[in-house]
Amino acid sequence: MSSADHQRHVLVLDTGGTIGMTKDDEGALIPKFGVFSKEVAENPRLNDNVYAKKCEQNYKGFDKTYALPLGSDYKRVLYYIKEYKPPIDSSQIKLENWKTMAEDVKHYYGDFDGFVIIHGTDTMAYTSATLSFMLENLGKPVILTGAQIPLQEIGSDGWDNLLGALSFAGLYVIPEVTLFFDKKLFRGNRVTKIDCNKFKAFDSPNFEPLATMEPSLSGAVCRRLNGRNYLFIAFSVNWCNMLKKTKDEFKVDTDLSPKVGLLKLYPGITIENVTSFLNEDHGLKGVVLQTYGVGGSPTTFLDVLSKAVKENGVLILNCTQCIKGTVLPTYKVGKDLEKAGLIPGADINGEAALAKLRYVLCKSKLNNEQMTKMMKRNLRGEITLLTA
């Protein structure tokens, strides 16, 4: 068997984010082109430079090859970096940026075994959820990751996050969009950011992680080859929860509706507030309504909500504002919302709810009734459908 049979090729799309930031003259972190690739190239944990130089250069138009140290099953993960210029602070993310990412995956889909998207943490969950719908019939891993501390700083979490993301993207066939952070691989449309300071920045309250990376001594095996030590990290994958690879052709849908909004209920919110938000002059076609508990709302809003749905054709998705849980017809107020035409959101989170609405609303061949049925379906593992 040739060495090429042991090689896996991964494309890294570096969109920006904290992981590749540097400090300006005032000490504030700013994105800077070239920082990420430079740091990765010089770190032996992420790049076996000796082996990388032996590999084919100019692979698919990329003039530099990076190589992970030898991994499990003696397979090599070779990767290539496409840096977005200028890099993006993720708080500035726009619909156009998501379209660019999706188009890049489409363009290079046949050339690589997997994809890693470097992204800022602030909106990473929004991006992973959105891409999960845009990338239809995905048969290869697309993994988002980043860091809470830049690679240039001591104690950066970026090294482990990169190692895990690259390993999963290169060594496993995971046919969905995921997010890797702090040793855990999450479904991309199930994750939410829970902490802006700690390394455990993300969690998936309604769906357990798809996989974990265990770099502990008990979970790793060291072998000595050609006078060098190689660390074989243990990976634990929950294949039962993984989406199944489809035989349908991979394609990308870059149409996303900008006409969506999010309204969170709170004690004291007035009917005037709700009416103003839903005013048809605003042009909203879809709304994520974050209600109380299992889907409750003040009954005084029923008429205005019903009018928005039945007269103005707005799709309103009823989602719980709780971090964990699902919308259920437990209380009469919840049943009344469904009778008013609101769509029960099950256990979908806010990031995925917005993404799904943007995606479904652009299905121009569907009428409102068909789009409503599509919103109720589990399209990419984003909701858990309860059976009677």
The answer to whether residue 386 sits within a structural domain is: no
Instruction: Specify the residue for token string 């499990």.
Output: 72
Which of 205, 229, 252 corresponds to the end of one domain?
A: 252
pLDDT at 73: 61
Residue 310 sits in the same domain as residue 167: no
Residue 214 sits in the same domain as residue 89: yes
Helix (H) or strand (E) holding 14: strand 7-16
One-letter amino acid of 264: K
Which DSSP symbol is given to 283?
-
The answer to whether residue 364 sits within a structural domain is: yes
CATH of the domain at 268: 3.40.50.40
Taking the C-alpha atoms of residue 293 and residue 162, their distance in angstroms, rounded to an integer, is 37
**How many other C-beta atoms are found inside a 10 Å radius of the C-beta of residue 49?**
14
Active site residues: 18
290-340 pLDDT per residue, tens = 999 999 999 999 999 999 999 999 999 999 999 999 999 888 888 999 999
Residue 193 sits in the same domain as residue 340: no
The torsion region of residue 226 among left (phi > 0), alpha (psi -120 to 50) and beta comes to left
Residue 142 sits in the same domain as residue 291: no
The answer to whether residue 383 sits within a structural domain is: no
Residue 7 sits in the same domain as residue 121: yes
Does pLDDT of 1 surpass 50? no
Residue 206 sits in the same domain as residue 312: no
Which of 222, 252, 282 corresponds to the end of one domain?
A: 252
**pTM for the structure as a whole:** 0.93
The answer to whether residue 381 sits within a structural domain is: no
Instruction: Specify the residue for token string 């009677």.
Output: 388
How many residues does the structure list for the chain? 388
The neighbouring-strand residues paired with 145 are: 118
38-49 pLDDT per residue, tens = 999 999 889 998
Residue 316 sits in the same domain as residue 175: no
- Kindly indicate the confidence band of residue 226, based on its pLDDT and cuts at 50, 70 and 90: low
Residue 211 sits in the same domain as residue 243: yes
The answer to whether residue 295 sits within a structural domain is: yes
Q: How far is CA 98 from the centre of its chain?
A: 11
Residue 203 sits in the same domain as residue 290: no
Decide if 308 contacts 299 (C-beta within 8 A): no
Number of domains in the chain: 2
Does pLDDT of 229 surpass 50? no
Task: Phi first, then psi: give them for residue 203, nearest 5 degrees.
Answer: -150, 165
Domain of residue 134, residue span: 3-252
The neighbouring-strand residues paired with 115 are: 11, 142
Residue 244 sits in the same domain as residue 313: no
